[in-house]
Amino acid sequence: MNLNDLPEDEYFTSGHTACPGCVAPIIVRNMMKILGKNTVVYTPANCLLVFGGTYPYIAWKVPYFHEAFENTGSSISGAARAFKKKRKDVTVVGIAGDGGTYDIGIQALSGAAERNEDVIYVCYDNEAYMNTGIQRSGSTPYGASTTTTPPGKKIPGKLEHKKDMAEIMRAHEVPYVATMSVSHIADFLRKVEKAKKIKGFRYLHVFSPCPTGWRFDPSKSIEIARKAVDSGMWTLYEAEYGEIMDIYKPKKKIPVEEYIKGQGRFRHFTPEMIEELQKWVDKKWERLYGEKP
Amino acid sequence: MPDKGHKYGEGGESMIQKLEAKKMVITGDHAAAYAALLADVEVVAAYPITPQTLIVEDFATFVDDGITDAEFIMVESEHSAMSAVIGSEAAGARSFTATSSQGLALMHEMLPIASGLHLPIVMPVVNRTVAAPIGIWCEYNDMMPQRDTGWMQMYSEDNQEVLDMVIMGYKIAENHDVLLPIMMGLDAFILSHTVEPVEAPSSDEVADFLPPYKPIAVLDPDNPMAIGTFTPPEYIQELRYQTHRCMKNARKVIYDVTKEFASKFGRNYHGLIEEYETDDAEVILITMGTVTGTARDVVDAYRKQGKKVGLIKLRFFRPFPAEELRKALQNAEVIGVFDRAVSYGVGGPAWIDVKSALYGFDKPVLNFLAGIGGRDIVRGDVEKMFDIMLDAKNGKAKKEIVWINTRGVEE
Ligand SMILES: Cc1ncc(C[n+]2csc(CCOP(=O)(O)OP(=O)(O)O)c2C)c(N)n1
Ligand code: SF4
Ligand SMILES: [Mg+2]
């Protein structure tokens, strides 16, 4: 879909309470324009749950439900099966954060994917537990400062690299896995449109810069998202039944140093730490593109 | 006239094959699964655990044999089982699950979510020991700790009651004055794996008794609403009160439903408690689950010896039948409460609630802890309970809390 053809209809409306510059509502709003009215949304505990609706003010214009934190995969399975039984054609979509996906929710997610439930699972990835105050998650990149990985005198931030969740989902060989970023909006919209048409389990993983947790100027959200892609920190691809069908390659690969610049969570980085992060990116690049950067 | 439960809303297509009324010799687990079939459940999500496994396997067989076209979600855990039936029930489908012990413990987080959203889920729980140490035999330490989750809970005496209660369970839970989920206990192995003759009504009779589920709040794109939103203190206290009120409303509904069931199917469960030889009884033992049958025999034998003993079967633990107990126990001189679970350092959970219900009664209320961890409760054990109560009547009570048949502990 062309950006100009995007429907005027809003299913995630203004009045929500996300921080200025937050990418999560941009993801949700645009995605919902394509998924449309005939959609039921589940949100586990996360920023979106809170900024999308605190009773009695609800930004959602479609039916929306919440149960708990770790069960997006199973909650949407239940709703989807009920609609199947009742022969109602409804798109059931669960929108979880990285914490609700990589960590506490991975079991229910893996189960739903393995059963090939007819649902769309969306992970908006802001690389930490933001709702509870910026704690590390399995998605937090190497070295980043969070409230549970504060750069100290002995330990300089998070010691482990980011877990490759999309690859874990690709290994489930589900009908559709796509990684996305709103900085590449046409690609983003195309993937949502495609996911909507596919039956079975669909996993959409969207990069979601968070000015509050990453400590950057809120006007720079899209720029940072773009730099993540251009540096290889985030890679856009899509896979069908476990096979990569399309992968976006930045025209000019930028060094990670350029990406981390301006983000407070990396401010303490030493040249050695930058090098460590660059090595990780280069290795991932080689694995995904089959050639050295 | 409500439309029949076994029809599709619009198409009128039959969801289950017609099932004739029949007498079967079946396990408690099969009774539970067969009752779910009769209740025409639309979505089942479950995860196997001994001794509940037969329920899951039986239902899978019904689905694979095409006896029902219910959706069966074979989830990867009990936490997901409960999450899934909450989702399906929120989408308006009559939903069913079953578990036991560790599985119930794993579900715990989701239980108040089911009741808080007022979703009338029905869940047999095969009562099994909770670890540690790990054991698979009968105990109520799995279900008792769930008493404050907003679920109704009851305990069955035999396999017939298991089958009947699943059917009645939906009727009670789905009543708009109640709209709370219900778990029904059945004793591990003693019921779950033991065959007994059970009368099953026909699917038509059940459909007539149990109309289709009519949810109030439902996920429907034509009428969007938010279910389970983040809610500030301005509203939650009223919601808690509503759940409290629903639980209180359930008492009358349980009476009405057991009465209607009795008139339709000829089996009367008398509401929340069942009394046996209590009219002139001087000592009364309160029992739960299968031990009731043994206790009935003891009552009969003691009555022949001229001893004025009686028993009350505590069927429902939530809602708790406080008024019924006060009335039934007003003339008793000594009361005993059987517990198959313990609230550590205090006593049996049933005893605690009975005592609080009887506040102001000036008579001994003894507690008998027995059968814990699945230890057999033999006739002699129940006789001992009555003997201790009769001694207490003559002013010879030694202890308030008695651990029956427990090595190293004096009775
Ligand atoms: C079982 C359970 N454990 C912990 C929490 C507390 N909690 C709520 S949201 C959250 C973090 C969410 O992180 P993520 O999924 O990344 O979403 P974000 O807030 O970053 O958008 C945590 C830890 C909870 N609600 N439930
Ligand atoms: S903390 Fe981050 S993710 Fe959460 S609303 Fe604010 S900007 Fe968005
Ligand atoms: Mg996050």
Which domains does chain A possess?
3-289 (3.40.50.970)
Q: Which residue from B80, B234, B233 is spatially nearest to A44, judged by alpha carbons?
A: B80
For B284, phi and psi rounded to 5 degrees?
A: -130, 130
- The DSSP line for B156-198 is -SSHHHHHHHHHHHHHHHTSTTT---EEEEEETTTTTT--EEE
- Cβ atoms within 10 Å, residue B39: 26
For B33, phi and psi rounded to 5 degrees?
A: -65, -40
What residues sit around ligand 3, an ion, with C-beta below 5 angstroms? A 97-98, 126, 130
pLDDT at A70: 98
pLDDT at A3: 82
Q: Which residue from B367, B372, B377, B323 is spatially nearest to B346, judged by alpha carbons?
A: B367
The strand pairing partners of A64, in sequence order, are A41, B226
Is A129 near ligand 1, meaning CB less than 6 Å away? yes
Residue B326 tokens read as 């006060």
For residue A99, report the distance from its CA to the centre of ligand 3, in Å. 5
Give residue limits of the domains in chain B: 22-212+221-265, 273-403
Structure-derived torsion over alpha carbons of residues B245, B248, B254, B260, reported in degrees to the nearest 10:
-70
| Alpha helices in chain A, H assignment, sequence order | 24-35, 47-52, 72-85, 106-114, 165-170, 185-197, 211-214, 221-231, 256-260, 271-289
pLDDT at B68: 95
Best of B76, B89, B235 to disrupt the A interface (most A CBs within 10 Å) is B76
Residue listed under structure tokens 């205090």: B346
Looking at residues A42-66, what average pLDDT do you find? 97
Cβ partners under 8 Å of residue B20, min gap 6: B202
CA angle A217, A220, A221 (to 5 degrees): 105
Q: Residue A218 carries which DSSP code?
A: G
Looking at residues A82-104, what average pLDDT do you find? 98
Q: Chains A, B: CB contacts under 8 A, how many?
A: 161
Nearest CA in chain B to A87: B8
Q: Which residue from B161, B179, B170, B154 is spatially nearest to B318, judged by alpha carbons?
A: B154
ipTM: 0.97
Domain B273-403 coded CATH 3.40.630.30:
no
Residues B48, B74: Cα–Cα separation, whole Å? 9
Long-range CB contacts (< 8 A, 24+ apart) of B353-362?
A: B353/B317, B353/B320, B353/B322, B354/B286, B354/B325, B356/B322, B357/B320, B357/B321, B357/B322, B357/B325, B357/B326, B358/B325, B358/B326, B358/B329, B361/B326, B361/B329, B361/B330
Looking at residues A236-255, what average pLDDT do you find? 97
Query: How far are the Cα atoms of B55, B292, B338 from residue B140, in angstroms, in the given order?
Result: 19, 15, 11
User: pLDDT tens for residues A110-148?
Assistant: 999 999 999 999 999 999 999 999 999 999 999 999 999
3-state secondary structure of B153: strand
Question: Is B73's Cβ below 8 Å from some Cβ in A?
Answer: yes
Which ligand gives the minimal distance to the CA of A18? 2
Cα B315 from chain centre: 7
Is A211 near ligand 2, meaning CB less than 6 Å away? yes
pLDDT at B397: 83
Which ligand gives the minimal distance to the CA of B110? 1
Nearest ligand 2 atom, CA A208: 3
Q: Which residue from B240, B255, B251 is spatially nearest to B320, judged by alpha carbons?
A: B251
pTM here is 0.96
pLDDT at A4: 86
3-state secondary structure of B54: helix
Cα A29 from chain centre: 14
- The DSSP line for B301-368 is HHHHTT--EEEEEE-EEES--HHHHHHHTTT-SEEEEEESS-BTTTB-HHHHHHHHHTTT--S-EEEE
pLDDT at B17: 82
Q: Which amino acid is residue B354, in one-letter code?
A: V
Q: How far is A90 from chain B (nearest CA, A)?
A: 8
Q: Which amino acid is residue B83, in one-letter code?
A: S
pLDDT at B15: 60
3-state secondary structure of A239: strand
For B296, phi and psi rounded to 5 degrees?
A: -60, -45
A42 contacts B74? CB cut-off 8 A? no
Looking at residues A258-265, what average pLDDT do you find? 97
Which ligand gives the minimal distance to the CA of A27? 2
For residue B217, report the distance from its CA to the centre of ligand 3, in Å. 30
pLDDT at B9: 36
Query: How far are the Cα atoms of A79, A105, B227, B259 from residue A60, in angstroms, in the given order?
Result: 18, 23, 11, 44
Residues A67, B199: Cα–Cα separation, whole Å? 38
Q: Which residue from A113, A252, A235 is spatially nearest to A178, judged by alpha carbons?
A: A235
The answer to whether residues B16 and B62 touch, using CB atoms and an 8 Å cutoff, is: no
User: pLDDT tens for residues A154-193?
Assistant: 999 999 999 999 999 999 999 999 999 999 999 999 999 9
Q: Which amino acid is residue B395, in one-letter code?
A: G
Residues B105, B99: Cα–Cα separation, whole Å? 10
B77 contacts A108? CB cut-off 8 A? yes
Is A51 near ligand 2, meaning CB less than 6 Å away? yes
Which CATH fold topology does B22-212+221-265 show? Answer: Rossmann fold (3.40.50)
Nearest CA to ligand 2 atom 2: A210
The strand pairing partners of A177, in sequence order, are A203, A239
pLDDT at A231: 98
Residues B132, B115: Cα–Cα separation, whole Å? 28
Task: Name residues of chain B where pLDDT drops below 50.
Answer: 1-14
Residues B91, B117: Cα–Cα separation, whole Å? 12
Asked if domains B22-212+221-265 and B273-403 share a fold, the reply is yes
Nearest ligand 2 atom, CA A97: 3
